[in-house]
Chain A
Amino acid sequence: MASAAATGQGIAAPVRPAAHWLKWAIIGVIGLVNLYAVTLMYIQGETIFALVTLILVATGLYVFAAPGAYVHRYIFPGVATMFIFIVFPLAYTIWIAFTNYSATNILTFERARAYQLSQSFQIADQSFDFALYGAGTNTYRLALTAADGERFLSPPVELRVPGAGPQPPASTAAIEVDLLPATAPPAAEPLPIKDLVRLRGVLQEVRAHLPNHTDLRMSGLRQFSAIRPLYQVLPSAQGGDGLILVNQQTKERIAPDMRSGFYRALTPEGEFTGPGIAPGFSVFVGWKNFLRVLTDPGVQGPFLQIFGWTLTFSLLSVIFTLAIGMVLAALVQWESLAGRGLYRLLLILPYAVPAFISILVFRGLFNQNFGEINVLLSQLFGIKPAWFNDPTLARTMLLIVNTWLGYPYMMILCMGLLKAIPSDLYEAAAMDGSNFIRDFFSITVPLLMKPLTPLLIASFAFNFNNFVLVQLLTEGRPDIIGAQTPAGTTDLLVTYTYRIAFEGSGQDYGLASAIATLIFIMVGVLALINIKIMRVDRPT
């Protein structure tokens, strides 16, 4: 009962010796499989992911194998998922903030290098006529004929058109095919050209090898040509350090520029020259992204403006929802009011409707030309406000919608807390000649504020990051003029970050992560304040 000592509980897992070897076998298999995966990731340059997998699997195995960690078995699954989906993304985002990770610099260095080394060029004077013969579902034989009539035939190969979905560059492996000398073409009819068109994508991945070790590759719908790798590592005898690659066609030397994250040509003196050669890879750039946020006018201007609006929006949202929620809660809790249950139910309705639906409903209702709100306004006052094109109106609209969405939550909270206020307080106040308005402001509000404070801070943090509202209602528009990155006047910091990362051409993950990191810091401070407040409240 070693575990009893560890838990201090004296409650230990019964150990059945028969199950013992099975447990170790399972642990061993899991360990080996994962060790293999980790090694694979590490070789591919995914050091971080390799490390995370290693840590998780190792702790997991330890926790489930070691009797001393019996208690941790209960928390491991939960804590591990929280680690993967909260702590790790957080840390990874902060790490990206210090790199130039973006649409143009998306690969790891190892992958970029592998990509360059997998490039090839064709030698024009060695071409073969090419035909494809079916050999079962998705399997085919390649038949090549040289200019001098020499024939080659491949064994059946599987060629499958890949499914939809994004394919990261250089991730599809080449299909290796060995050709054998043949005397005559196969008896069957070669496939028609439309099948070749359909299979073109896969065929381009085929590397056919002649018996004399010449590599061939598709160069036209009916043609294969000899190819040679475009880049080769400069041998160390010629001063290569393993990094410098030589273009076999032009003899130009290129090397990775670890500052810009691209391969670039080298001058004879070894200086970098010319533009970067795609694909780029991500490199560490230090504080550059943060400096851009703080000093680059094209980024700093919009950032500060959006930051200001984010604060205003969160603060006003909390104030409006709280004020309305509190008044309604006080009304609904008023015992002599008939039909309280029905009021309560109807008042909660905006909270019960899924937000993504009600936000889109408002998006339609506020539409300048067909929206019911403008129809009503133009009938009543003859105006048609441009809710989506005027910054002030757009912001007003956001606040209106957010108040609509958020007041029931505050009302629910206040109703719960109001129940806890002893009614003799009001009775005592009535003896003192107070009226209901005085009651509300001198008893209800002060008594509610204290328990509400942590909840209000949480609500502030929630609205600070109210992504769904802005993304679904305005998408941040109308845009800020003169901004270097996509930025809108109704953007909150979160949507701004999102747009930098996923919209427009730049997809500047590094910059987006730098801003996200700044938000993390602000939210973290709020969270700590909140914990402090809650702890202060606890003993009372």
Chain B
Amino acid sequence: MAMVQAKSIIYRKLAAHAFLWAWLALIIFPLLMVIAISFRTGNFAVGDIIPSHPTLDHWRLALGMSIVDESGRTIPPPFPVLLWLWNSIKVASVSAVLIVALSTTCAYAFARLRFGGRSLLLKAMLVFQMFPAVLALVAYYALFSRISDYFPPLGLNTHPGLIFAYLGGIALHVWTIKGYFETIDKSLEESATLDGASPWQAFRLILLPLSVPILAVVFILAFITAITEYPVASILLQDESKLTLAVGSQYYLNPQEYKWGDFAAAAVLSGFPITLVFLLAQRWLVGGLTAGGVKG
């Protein structure tokens, strides 16, 4: 708006800046606080934002190194944070790749091919994706204990099993990709067919390269969803060495063994890369989020 503005705009701008800064201070306080706490001595210390006796002990523990306390005892790292982070990244990347593959093929059929039950399936997907998995945890547990009986590599307490479970959540992604495919001129693929491309080649050489932006969005959304997923992982995984970060982190704040400082270091360490990925990707994600309409 390049309108001629009244004088009062200066005050309004100042008020806006003041308001935004006050709000940001409030919002960012917790985040700064964790960073500060991760450098404080001990697990119960209270103090200022800039710690008076900064220590790297919590960070050593988070990075899997043992430390020696004042009384000379060696304290091993309480939890394998890096292993959990690795587990999370592994599960999230594999499931995101598979989700992209599954929802792309599905979306291709829904966008380009005609078949019985098409619109019914599309609508059913919209309805079913609103049911949270956490309500069916009993069923999930039962399902996976059966799978364990007959095919252990995909059963309880395995990462492939967890990845498999995450593949159920493709409905929204199918809708998103389908919407994108429909904006691509159908005659492009027909033209490729005339040029001698098989349906697979037309999909692979024409449609797919044109869809890279939306596939990236879906990949990142699926990745973040999987990395932050808690309930299903907490039911399916049991061994400490198999846990994902989302499940493992809560053990730090057990009232019996309150490890506030250790948690802070682990949280900053593991949360930082994920936050960074999100912030870098956020520009593309906005469209995907609005289309999907459900918090990721």
Q: Interface of A with B (CB < 8 Å)?
A: 6-9, 11-14, 37, 40-41, 46, 49, 71-72, 74-75, 77-79, 81-82, 84-90, 92-93, 96, 101, 164-166, 168, 171, 328, 331, 334-339, 343, 345-358, 360-365, 367, 370, 372, 375, 404, 406, 409, 412-413, 415-417, 423, 426-427, 430, 436, 454-455, 458-459, 461-462, 465, 467-468, 471-472, 494, 497-498, 501-502, 509, 512-513, 516, 519-520, 523-524, 526-528, 530-531
Do B168 and A82 have beta carbons less than 8 Å apart?
Answer: yes
- A471 CB to closest chain B CB (Å) equals 7
Do A74 and B278 have beta carbons less than 8 Å apart?
Answer: no
Do B171 and A82 have beta carbons less than 8 Å apart?
Answer: yes
Residue in B3, B135, B138, B275 whose beta carbon sits within 8 Å of that of A430 in the complex: B3
- A482 CB to closest chain B CB (Å) equals 24
Do B289 and A412 have beta carbons less than 8 Å apart?
Answer: yes
Residues of A within 8 A of B287 (CB): 416
With A347-B24, A348-B279, A352-B282 in contact, is A85–B1 under 8 Å at CB? no
Residues of B within 8 A of A430 (CB): 3
Residues of B within 8 A of A404 (CB): 27, 30
Interface residues of B in 206-239 (CB under 8 A from A): 224, 227-228, 230-231, 235, 238-239
Residue in A77, A90, A336, A530 whose beta carbon sits within 8 Å of that of B128 in the complex: A90
- B87 CB to closest chain A CB (Å) equals 14
Residues of A within 8 A of B227 (CB): 354
Closest to A168 in B: B145
Question: Within 8 Å of chain A (Cβ to Cβ): is B270?
Answer: yes
Interface residues of B in 274-293 (CB under 8 A from A): 274-275, 278-279, 282, 286-287, 289-290, 293
Do B30 and A358 have beta carbons less than 8 Å apart?
Answer: yes
Do B295 and A406 have beta carbons less than 8 Å apart?
Answer: yes
Residues of B within 8 A of A426 (CB): 1
Closest to A424 in B: B1
- A339 CB to closest chain B CB (Å) equals 8
Q: Interface of B with A (CB < 8 Å)?
A: 1, 3, 5, 9, 12-13, 16-17, 19-20, 23-24, 27-28, 30-31, 33-34, 37, 44, 46, 102-103, 105-106, 108-110, 112-115, 121, 123, 125-140, 142-143, 145-146, 149-150, 156-157, 164-165, 167-171, 174, 193, 198-199, 202, 224, 227-228, 230-231, 235, 238-239, 245-246, 249-250, 252-253, 258, 260, 263-264, 267, 270-271, 274-275, 278-279, 282, 286-287, 289-290, 293-295
Interchain Cβ contacts under 8 Å between A and B, 16 examples: A11-B202, A77-B105, A84-B143, A93-B139, A347-B20, A348-B279, A354-B224, A354-B246, A355-B228, A357-B249, A358-B271, A363-B253, A409-B295, A498-B137, A516-B138, A523-B130
Residues of B within 8 A of A352 (CB): 274-275, 278-279, 282
| Pairs A-B, 4 closest by C-beta atoms | A85-B168, A89-B136, A74-B109, A78-B106
Residues of B within 8 A of A328 (CB): 20, 23
Do B135 and A494 have beta carbons less than 8 Å apart?
Answer: yes
Do A37 and B170 have beta carbons less than 8 Å apart?
Answer: no
Residues of A within 8 A of B108 (CB): 74
Residues of B within 8 A of A413 (CB): 289-290
Do B170 and A527 have beta carbons less than 8 Å apart?
Answer: no
Residues of A within 8 A of B239 (CB): 164-165
Residue in A93, A166, A347, A364 whose beta carbon sits within 8 Å of that of B138 in the complex: A93
- A58 CB to closest chain B CB (Å) equals 17
* C-alpha gap A354/B278 in the complex (Å): 9
Residues of A within 8 A of B126 (CB): 527, 530-531
Residue in A11, A354, A531 whose beta carbon sits within 8 Å of that of B123 in the complex: A531
Residues of A within 8 A of B228 (CB): 354-356, 468
- B233 CB to closest chain A CB (Å) equals 10
Do B135 and A497 have beta carbons less than 8 Å apart?
Answer: yes
* C-alpha gap A343/B295 in the complex (Å): 21
Residues of B within 8 A of A361 (CB): 30-31, 33-34, 264, 267
Most buried by A among B13, B23, B139: B139
Do B289 and A346 have beta carbons less than 8 Å apart?
Answer: no
Do B293 and A455 have beta carbons less than 8 Å apart?
Answer: yes
Closest to B113 in A: A71
With A75-B121, A331-B20 in contact, is A365–B130 under 8 Å at CB? no
* C-alpha gap A57/B5 in the complex (Å): 69
- A523 CB to closest chain B CB (Å) equals 5
Most buried by A among B3, B20, B27, B167: B20
Residues of B within 8 A of A336 (CB): 1, 5, 9, 13
Closest to B227 in A: A354
Closest to B189 in A: A11
Residue in B132, B140, B145 whose beta carbon sits within 8 Å of that of A494 in the complex: B132
With A71-B109, A370-B46, A531-B123 in contact, is A87–B128 under 8 Å at CB? yes
Do A436 and B12 have beta carbons less than 8 Å apart?
Answer: yes
* C-alpha gap A328/B129 in the complex (Å): 30
- B115 CB to closest chain A CB (Å) equals 4
Do A78 and B134 have beta carbons less than 8 Å apart?
Answer: no
- Additional 5 contacts, C-beta under 8 A, given A71-B113, A370-B46, A406-B295: A84-B143, A171-B149, A337-B13, A412-B289, A524-B131
* C-alpha gap A81/B131 in the complex (Å): 15
Do B136 and A166 have beta carbons less than 8 Å apart?
Answer: no
Do A89 and B132 have beta carbons less than 8 Å apart?
Answer: no
- A95 CB to closest chain B CB (Å) equals 9
With A89-B140, A427-B1, A512-B138 in contact, is A498–B131 under 8 Å at CB? no
Do B46 and A372 have beta carbons less than 8 Å apart?
Answer: yes
Do B290 and A357 have beta carbons less than 8 Å apart?
Answer: no
Residue in B114, B150, B230, B267 whose beta carbon sits within 8 Å of that of A41 in the complex: B150
Do B121 and A79 have beta carbons less than 8 Å apart?
Answer: yes
Residues of A within 8 A of B34 (CB): 361, 364
Residue in B1, B31, B135, B245 whose beta carbon sits within 8 Å of that of A353 in the complex: B31
Do A416 and B286 have beta carbons less than 8 Å apart?
Answer: yes
With A85-B167, A502-B137 in contact, is A74–B249 under 8 Å at CB? no
Do B27 and A349 have beta carbons less than 8 Å apart?
Answer: yes
Do B138 and A509 have beta carbons less than 8 Å apart?
Answer: yes
Do B27 and A350 have beta carbons less than 8 Å apart?
Answer: yes
Do B130 and A458 have beta carbons less than 8 Å apart?
Answer: yes
Do B134 and A494 have beta carbons less than 8 Å apart?
Answer: yes
Residues of A within 8 A of B19 (CB): 331
Residues of B within 8 A of A339 (CB): 17
Residues of B within 8 A of A9 (CB): 112-114
